[in-house]
Amino acid sequence: MMKILKYIFCFIPLILFYSCEQPSEEADIPYVPKLVIRGMISAGSSVKDIYIGRTMPVSVEIDPAFTDLTDAVAFIVYKNQFYPLTHTHNGLYENDTLAIRKGDTYTLLASWQNLSANAETTIPVLGNVSPFTMQSQTSGNTQTHFLQSKITPHADEVYAATWVLLYLNGSVADESKVFSTVSEKDESGNLVCTTSAIPSNYVNQTNTKLIARLYFFDHQYLDFYKSQNLNQVSDAIFGQVGSQVNWNIKGDGIGMFIGRADTLLSN
């Protein structure tokens, strides 16, 4: 699970490393400080690993002592009650008393000095998912295989999936590190969820089994995903300078605070 989260959220540290990639003539760009926030909350879990930091001037060498905030004031608001977040280490905050429940809405409030930011997210509920089945597509002399399912969402949550190669004892041998796409429902109220291409040597093995891991997110995640092209493996995977990133953090901040869930599904 942490492997996927790394790919989903590693875009935010890149903003902090932005100064390393810029030409020297940009040193005169005025510094506008912003809070940098990243966090995912999932049903059945407590609130943990909510990162709160700040951006750096373009011309300044990266220093976690500068970017990671240890004294921010932050709360999760749930049903009109305020749950304070406590700093643990490296700019990460947690609250171990608030249990996250599917279908409910949570608001993050964060402030530091004269900066304040907020975001709201709803924990997604799993819709009606048909079994993932092996599909193939031929282009010229090349045939690709992938897993696919038809889903009727519970509400407006969006879906993505990765293929997972299991040994017969149930342990994971390998797993895709990217999404083929993130899908939302169409006019009929359904969607098709597809994994990325499965390596050909994984198909039709007798000592392993291919299944899907299904991810579903608050609908806000889709706009971020589209703006960042996260399924592209290239030097530009995290977005170019000046690109319009669709964060859901509002106020004096950038980043994402999003509800998510996942489940393993047999084909």
As a whole number, mean pLDDT of residues 65-72 equals 92
Instruction: Kindly report the pTM of this predicted structure.
Output: 0.81
Range of 9-18, 146-155, 243-252 with top mean pLDDT: 146-155
Report all structural domains of the chain as residue ranges with CATH numbers, in order of start.
2-124+237-260 (no CATH), 128-217 (2.60.40)
Nearest Cα neighbor of 130 from 158, 146, 152 is 152
Task: Return the higher-pLDDT residue of 72 and 240.
Answer: 72
* Alpha carbon distances (Å) from 245 to 12, 41, 56, 63, 254: 11, 21, 18, 24, 9
Question: Cα–Cα distance between 78 and 107 in angstroms, integer?
Answer: 7
For tokens 């399912």, name the residue.
Answer: 149
Give the chain's mean pLDDT.
85
Among 5-9, 27-31, 245-249, whose mean pLDDT is lowest? 5-9
Per-residue pLDDT at 28: 61
pLDDT tens-digit map of 152-198: 999 999 999 999 999 999 899 999 999 999 999 999 999 999 999 99
At residue 216 the predicted structure's pLDDT band, cuts being 50, 70 and 90, is very high
Burial of 53 (0-12, 13-18, 19+ CB in 10 A): buried
Distance CA 96, CA 67 (A): 25
Q: What percent of the chain has pLDDT over 90?
A: 68
Which among 115, 39, 53 is positioned nearest to 90, based on CA atoms? 53
Model confidence over 21-67: pLDDT tens digits?
A: 344 444 566 788 899 999 999 998 999 999 999 998 877 777 888 88
| Integer Cα distance of 232 and 76 in angstroms | 33
- Cα–Cα distance list, 114 to 90, 117, 223 (Å): 21, 10, 28
The set of residues, in sequence order, having a beta carbon less than 8 Å from that of 182 and lying 6+ positions away, is: 158, 159, 160, 217, 221, 222, 225, 226
Give the angle subtended at the CA of 173 by the CAs of 172 and 175, to the nearest 5°: 80
Q: From the CB of residue 194, how many other CB atoms can be counted at a distance below 10 Å?
A: 21
